[in-house]
């Protein structure tokens, strides 16, 4: 099912187009759910190009490693192995068949979500769910990372990218929050309000932070799954 759709606000019959009669401009609301990728048997691919955006990725051939964005249709909720790094910890996507998987590697060049055309973009929200690999590692620990305890957290930060990728405001979402007696876990699709990211956006930058670190950096695998990114475009 195609998940990018448009609405005409005046009639509420079509999805996401508003016409400013005074200025003569068209205002289009888009819900990007990463359905343009036709995924084969392996169930994922690196990077993504939609009608209005590009999700960047990097790949190191020497190490066979990657960072940035992938698109996946996988939802194996049992395996805590690295081979299951593309699965969302959920029986279904927020909508449709695919979601985006973001992997943050602080040692690699940053990879962003960038809007494709010179328009005025503003963002509304995005749905966030933990990856299986990340959550099972946090819940149980493994040979590299410890099990989370009181005071621990996994924070996902969304930063507005302005002209020439200058950073603007940031919205933080605690995908796991064990601070102050809380036991919150984003093991379902959670809507994160991004409307505070004001300005003429060129894109979004995502970072992930964990309290489980050592002298070399994060021990927790820094993955998060995204779906139904809502944004507006002015033509």
CATH number of residue 203's parent domain: 2.60.120.1350
Kindly report the number of other CB atoms within 10 A of residue 112's CB atom. Answer: 18
Structural domain for 88, as ranges: 44-227
Asked whether residue 5 is assigned to any structural domain, the reply reads: no
Asked whether residue 150 is assigned to any structural domain, the reply reads: yes
pLDDT band for 26, please (50, 70, 90 cuts).
confident
Asked whether residue 39 is assigned to any structural domain, the reply reads: no
pTM over 0.75: yes
Asked whether residue 36 is assigned to any structural domain, the reply reads: no
Asked whether residue 34 is assigned to any structural domain, the reply reads: no
What is the reported pLDDT for 231? Answer: 96
pLDDT tens string 74-129: 999 999 999 999 999 999 999 999 999 999 998 899 999 999 987 889 999 999 99
pLDDT tens string 181-224: 999 999 999 999 999 998 889 999 999 999 999 999 999 999 99
* Mean pLDDT (the chain, rounded): 90
Asked whether residue 175 is assigned to any structural domain, the reply reads: yes
What is the reported pLDDT for 10? Answer: 31
Nearest to 71, CA basis, from 53, 103, 45 = 45
SS3 string of the chain?
Answer: CCCCCCEECCCCCCEEEEEECCCCEEEEEEEECCCCCCCCCCCEEECEECCCEEECEEEECCCCEEEEEEEECCCCCCCCCHHHCCCECCCCCCCCCCEEEEECCCCCCCCCEEECCCCEEEEEEEEEEEEHHHHHHHHHCCCCCCCCCCCCEEEEEEEEECHHHCEEEEEEEEEEECHHHCCEECCCCEEEECCCCCCCCCEEEEEEEECCEECCEECCCCEEEEEEEEEEEEC
- Report the number of distinct structural domains present in the chain: 1
Q: What is the mean pLDDT of residues 50-75?
A: 96
What is the reported pLDDT for 219? Answer: 97
What is the reported pLDDT for 180? Answer: 97
What is the reported pLDDT for 21? Answer: 39
User: Rounded to a whole number, what is the largest CA-CA distance in the chain?
Assistant: 62
What is the reported pLDDT for 115? Answer: 96
Asked whether residue 1 is assigned to any structural domain, the reply reads: no
Q: Sign of dihedral through CA atoms 75, 68, 49, 196? A: positive
Q: Considering the chain, what percentage of its residues have pLDDT values greater than 70?
A: 90
From CA 105, how far away is CA 234, in angstroms rounded? 33
Asked whether residue 75 is assigned to any structural domain, the reply reads: yes
Instruction: State the burial class of residue 183 (Cβ atoms within 10 Å of its Cβ: 0-12, 13-18, 19+).
Output: exposed
The pair of three-digit structure tokens given for residue 126, joined into one six-digit string? 């995005």
């Amino acid at each position: 099912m195609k998940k990018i759709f448009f609405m005409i606000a005046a009639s509420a019959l079509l999805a996401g187009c508003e016409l400013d009669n005074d200025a003569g401009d068209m205002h289009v609301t888009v819900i990007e759910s990463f359905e343009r990728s036709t995924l084969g048997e392996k169930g994922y691919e690196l990077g993504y190009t939609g009608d209005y955006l590009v999700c960047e990725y990097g790949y190191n051939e020497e190490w066979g490693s990657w960072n940035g964005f992938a698109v996946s249709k996988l939802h194996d909720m049992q395996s805590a192995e690295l081979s299951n790094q593309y699965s969302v910890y959920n029986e279904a996507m927020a909508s449709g068949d695919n979601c985006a998987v973001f992997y943050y590697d602080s040692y690699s060049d940053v990879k962003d979500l960038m809007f494709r055309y010179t328009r005025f973009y503003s963002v509304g929200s995005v749905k966030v769910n933990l990856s299986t690999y990340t959550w099972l590692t946090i819940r149980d620990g493994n040979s590299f990372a410890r099990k989370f305890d009181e005071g621990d957290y996994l924070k996902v930060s969304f930063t507005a990218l302005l002209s020439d990728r200058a950073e603007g405001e940031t919205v933080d979402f605690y995908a796991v929050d064990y601070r102050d007696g809380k036991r919150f876990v984003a093991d379902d699709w959670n809507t994160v309000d991004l409307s505070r990211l004001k300005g003429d956006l060129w894109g979004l930058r995502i970072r992930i932070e964990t309290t489980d670190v050592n002298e070399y950096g994060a021990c927790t695998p820094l993955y998060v799954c995204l779906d139904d990114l809502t944004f507006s475009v002015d033509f």
